Amino acid sequence: MSARALTQIKYVGADDPSHGETSCEECPIRYRAVCAHCESDELARLEGIKFYRSYEPGQAIVWGGDQMDFVGSVVSGVATLTQTLEDGRTQMVGLLLPSDFLGRPGRSTATYNAVATTKVVLCCFRRKPFGEMMNRLPSLSRRLLEMTLDELDAAREWMLLLGRKTAREKIASFIAIIARREASMHMRSPGGRTEIELPLTREAMADYLGLTLETVSRQVNALKRDGIIELHGKRGVVLPDFARLVEESGDDADGGWIS
């Protein structure tokens, strides 16, 4: 199924020296990534060991079970973490947007399949030196703990979605999540009219939501028929009334997404 399509272009991402000169101070994810709390002297030490890699849409970053000798942050683009059963059933377990962290320091093999869904640039560190840095720079390990706790909260919200929401609520929730993350990227909150771009195909949305792609398609179009969303092309979505969408998502309130 999708796993097959993905492995077609499975190879290691190219080292990308074109980013070699990019200064951390000017990095687009400077204040959100794992390095967010670092002072400029600490940042300089990280800068000394970083390197960039880039991946094309559909390209595998790592495959679950394979050796993984680096960790890194998504600088730009979107990647997914997925898990599969023997018979091909696939569940997405992570959606990596800019500033999100990939890999586990202290573990040498990947646990999940990581795949770029758009062009992705990763700011990487070799695992060992990064581990050293973690020990030397408390601001680094403190930030990683913070990010991991946030991810755990997100995973638990996701579990509620997977276990208890209807297909319609799942779709509405997903669109609301994307709208919130896009908004927080630009430091605004999703207000009245909002325009977003879905970062995933229908099939990838299905893997995110624990549905089939047909059900995703049907429910997206049902929300459109009901005036909750407008569609512009396959990926473009306009939300005439964000609050209306949240109502459809089944969540009680807008879960305090201010920051």
Partner DNA sequence: CGTGAGTTTGAGTCATGTCAAGGACCGTGG
Partner DNA sequence: CCACGGTCCTTGACATGACTCAAACTCACG
Query: Which residues of this chain interact with a second copy, rule CB under 8 A?
Result: 81, 83, 85-86, 89-91, 93-94, 104, 106, 111-112, 135, 138, 141-142, 144-146, 148-149, 151-153, 155-160, 162-165, 209-210, 250-252
Q: Is 146 helix (H, G, I), strand (E, B) or coil?
A: helix
By CB under 7 A, tell whether 10 contacts DNA.
no
| Distance of closest approach, residue 131 Cβ to a second copy, in angstroms | 11
Backbone angles phi, psi at 222, to 5 degrees: -65, -40
| Distance of closest approach, residue 1 Cβ to DNA, in angstroms | 10
Nearest Cα to Cα of residue 131 among 49, 19, 31: 49
For 35, 48, 61, 124, 152, the CA distances from 134, given in Å and listed in that order, are 11, 15, 23, 14, 20
Amino acid at 14: A
Within the chain, where are the H helices?
2-7, 40-49, 127-136, 138-164, 167-185, 202-209, 213-225, 242-248
Give whichever of 32 and 143 is closer to a second copy, judged by the CB atom: 143
Give whichever of 32 and 165 is closer to a second copy, judged by the CB atom: 165
* Token pair for 203: 């099939």
Stretch that binds DNA, among 10-18, 32-40, 206-214, 248-256 (CB under 7 A): 206-214
For DNA, the binding residues in 166-185 under the rule CB under 7 A are 166-168
Residues in touch with DNA (CB under 7 A): 5, 58, 166-168, 201-203, 210-218, 220-221, 231, 233-235
